């Protein structure tokens, strides 16, 4: 279940633009989604060498898309235990909230990169192309965002009317 840094619930009945992030120390995948249409698509990959460079690129995305909410994938070991990237992703989520004041939700992203790679491979094979060796971080961010949207949809179905 996604964890949130704010108490505001997302409403699937109101169209909200969402940006999701697959955090990495050198590359950050970004996806764009919508709470009304319940879709998510890869948007871009930010290559960065410093926090200043990373957050400058994110500031441009915030200006361009004006999201209502941000979603950050938090990786864990298969057994659910945290590791080094868990703490870094959590810190990244806090920094997003602190810098942009936008609600930030977290999603357990175990296997999102594996799923994104499998989808990319299937699409490449279907198109008759060899699988690309380029990074699929934006695809992983889209998987993270779909996990979030699916969880929110299930949560709203359980809520009293």
Residue 93, both tokens = 């989520």
DSSP-based three-state secondary structure for 63: helix
What CATH number has the domain spanning 3-158?
A: 3.30.420.140
Distance, in Å, from the CA atom of 27 to the CA atom of 98, rounded to the nearest integer, reads 21
Please report where in the chains the tokens 């929110």 appear, as a residue.
Answer: 152
Residue 113, both tokens = 């990169």
pLDDT value, residue 13: 66
Residue 13, both tokens = 């009945």
Residues 41/73, Cβ–Cβ less than 8 Å: no
What is the residue-level pLDDT of the chain in tens, covering all 161 positions?
A: 455 454 455 555 678 999 999 999 999 999 999 999 999 999 999 999 999 999 999 999 999 999 999 999 999 988 889 999 999 999 999 999 999 999 999 999 875 555 544 555 444 444 445 444 346 899 999 999 999 998 886 555 555 55
pLDDT value, residue 38: 92
User: What are phi and psi for residue 13, nearest 5 degrees?
Assistant: -85, -10
Delimit the domains of the chain by residue range: 3-158
């Amino acid at each position: 279940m996604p964890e949130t840094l704010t108490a505001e619930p997302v409403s699937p009945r109101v169209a909200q633009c969402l940006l999701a992030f697959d955090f990495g120390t050198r590359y950050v995948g970004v996806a764009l989604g919508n709470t009304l249409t319940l879709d998510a698509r890869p948007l871009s990959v930010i290559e960065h060498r410093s926090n200043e460079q990373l957050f400058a690129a994110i500031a441009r995305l915030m200006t361009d898309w004006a999201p209502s909410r941000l979603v950050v994938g938090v990786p864990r070991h298969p057994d659910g235990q945290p590791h080094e990237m868990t703490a870094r992703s959590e810190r990244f989520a806090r920094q997003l909230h602190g810098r942009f004041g936008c609600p930030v939700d977290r999603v357990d992203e175990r296997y999102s990169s594996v799923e994104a790679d499998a989808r990319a491979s299937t699409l490449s094979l279907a198109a008759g192309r060899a699988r690309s060796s380029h990074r699929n971080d934006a695809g992983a961010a889209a998987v993270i965002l779909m996990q979030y949207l699916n969880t929110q949809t299930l949560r709203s179905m359980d809520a009293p009317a």
